[in-house]
Amino acid sequence: MLEGIRVLDLTIALAGPLATLLFASMGAEVIRVEAPGGRGDISRWNPPFIGAHGAHFDEPSEDEISVSMLNRSQGKKSVTLNLKSEIGRQMFLEMAGHADVVIENFSAGTADRLGVGYPAVSTANPAIVYCSINGFGSESPYSLKAMDIIVQAMSGIMEASGDAAGPPVRIGVPIGDMAGSLFATTGVLAALLRRFRTGEGRRVEISLYDCLAALLSIEHFEVYERAGIPTRTGNAHARLTPFGVYPAADGYVAIVAHTDEWSSRLFAAMGQPELAHDRRFLTRGLRVQNMAALTELIEAWTRTLPRDELVRLLTEEHDLPAAPVRTPADAMCDPHLARRGALVPLRHPFYGEGAEPVIGTGLPIRFSGIPPATGARSPMLGEDNESVYREWLGIDAERLDELQRLGIV
């Protein structure tokens, strides 16, 4: 879909690399630029690591790669370049003249200090689409390091998860980084469409804080707070009662029965059809007001049956939305997701998938006429120096050797 689009990837950790992974997965040529001398992306040192003998949490050997890096570098090319040197900076700006997109997620202001921010790059290439991803925006009043948990804490999203009487809960995946990546991808694609029409480049700025605030606002929690209604309701969705996760005899089940018709079916499945006529549960509003009593009745019933039997009973006999609550490992091994290309086996540049494949991020977007993703090989750090610098900058092997001796690449 994006064949012919060239992306220079100055990203680290997750918020940026996931965005550039999506571009690579959709066919763009993504050149990942990292510091030379083994000082690349900090994610290279995240355990576990994969080598000849599979995944482990010990210190890595030279040919072993972090699972994080193996996942986030799929289908990309890797070059090393010292942006703190004048030669390295000029090389990058020359490469930017041949690129369509630059994506960076340094701390706010870092790219400008290095001389590779939007003003410098757009001077080298006025048609460039330049995307900056940071924690709180370019004019933020907050002097906070924007790690995902910091952004979750500031955004209020942690107070939307967990039980009302319990502590705030961190969402189990780095939702701030991931939301930022998805909004960045959308913004860059929109800017590219405009450039195709006008020939003009654009800067796209993404704040992780902005992204989580935008997601949180979907539920209008401030209205609940003004009305004195708790914003943390555990595994239930208060305004859609019954709508939540309930304990089975051997696990948990998600059940949705918030409409009048569905709640009647649930009461029938429970063997208590008379509850449909109980004054506490006659309407949706009454069920919300009497959520605690209704939840107690449902849980008393769900605890008596095995998880899979509950799901079968609810879905097959009463046509209700219900599903087993799976572990992450169970979900990652679902062959349906593999067939659709949403999950793919990670491929080490030397050892391939290995004896015990590790599952990574595929492309959860399907295009007609294009087969699902199967997973692309990840490069070693600096593996593509020779080919990329020869093609993009015309640098021959002798000059590349000299640049290596100087610590430029």
Q: What is the CATH number of the domain that holds 245?
A: 3.30.1540.10
> Domain count of the chain?
2
* The pLDDT value given to residue 139: 82
Domain match, 34 and 175 both? yes
Residue at a domain's end among 293, 324, 355: 324
Q: Does 177 participate in catalysis according to the annotation?
A: yes
Residue 356 lies in a domain: yes
As a whole number, the mean pLDDT across the chain is 93
Residue 229 has pLDDT above 80, yes or no: no
* The pLDDT value given to residue 275: 97
Beta bridge partners of 243: 256
* pLDDT category of residue 248 using cuts at 50, 70 and 90: very high
Residue 220 lies in a domain: no
* The pLDDT value given to residue 356: 83
Residue at a domain's end among 295, 324, 353: 324
Domain match, 140 and 40 both? yes
Instruction: Count the neighbouring beta carbons within 10 Å of the beta carbon of residue 400.
Output: 17
Domain match, 183 and 75 both? yes
Residues 50-63 have a mean pLDDT of 90
Residue 355 has pLDDT above 80, yes or no: no
SS (H, E, C) the chain: CCCCCEEEEECCCCHHHHHHHHHHHCCCEEEEEECCCCCCCHHHHCCCEEECCEEECCCCCCCCEEHHHHHHCCCCEEEECCCCCHHHHHHHHHHHCCCCEEEECCCCCHHHHHCCCHHHHHHHCCCCEEEEEECCCCCCCCCCCCCHHHHHHHHCHHHHCCCCCCCCCCCCCCHHHHHHHHHHHHHHHHHHHHHHHHCCCEEEEEEHHHHHHHHHHHHCHHHHHHCCCCCCCCCECHHHCCEEEEECCCCEEEEECCCHHHHHHHHHHCCCHHHHHCCCCCCHHHHHHCHHHHHHHHHHHHCCCCHHHHHHHHHHHCCCCEEECCCHHHHHCCHHHHHHCCEEECCECCCECCCCCCEEECCCCCCCCCCCCCCCCCCCCCCCHHHHHHHHHCCCHHHHHHHHHCCCC
Instruction: Count the neighbouring beta carbons within 10 Å of the beta carbon of residue 135.
Output: 25
Catalytic residue among 9, 41, 148, 177: 177
- What's the domain range around 310? 238-324
Residue 300 has pLDDT above 90, yes or no: yes
Assigned token pair, 214: 């935008």
Residues 236-257 have a mean pLDDT of 93
Domain match, 282 and 354 both? no
Residue 227 has pLDDT above 80, yes or no: no
Domain match, 158 and 253 both? no
The fraction of the chain above a pLDDT of 90, given in percent, is 79
Q: What is the pTM of this model?
A: 0.92
pLDDT digits (tens, 9 = 90+) for 84-127: 999 999 999 999 999 999 999 998 889 999 999 999 999 999 99
* pLDDT category of residue 40 using cuts at 50, 70 and 90: confident
Residue 83 has pLDDT above 90, yes or no: yes
Residue 375 has pLDDT above 80, yes or no: yes
Contact residues for 211 (Cβ-Cβ < 8 A; gap 6+): 176, 179, 180, 183
* pLDDT category of residue 218 using cuts at 50, 70 and 90: confident
How far, in Å, CA of 46 to CA of 354, rounded? 20
Residues 150-162 have a mean pLDDT of 91
Residue 11 has pLDDT above 90, yes or no: yes
Residue at a domain's end among 324, 349, 382: 324
* The pLDDT value given to residue 339: 93
Residue 152 lies in a domain: yes
Of 144-148, 252-256, 320-324, 385-389, the range with the lowest mean pLDDT is: 144-148
* pLDDT category of residue 233 using cuts at 50, 70 and 90: confident
Q: Omega before 48 cis (within 30°)?
A: yes
Domain match, 45 and 121 both? yes
Of 135-139, 176-180, 275-279, the range with the lowest mean pLDDT is: 135-139
Domain match, 42 and 180 both? yes
* pLDDT category of residue 225 using cuts at 50, 70 and 90: confident
* The pLDDT value given to residue 389: 97
* pLDDT category of residue 325 using cuts at 50, 70 and 90: very high
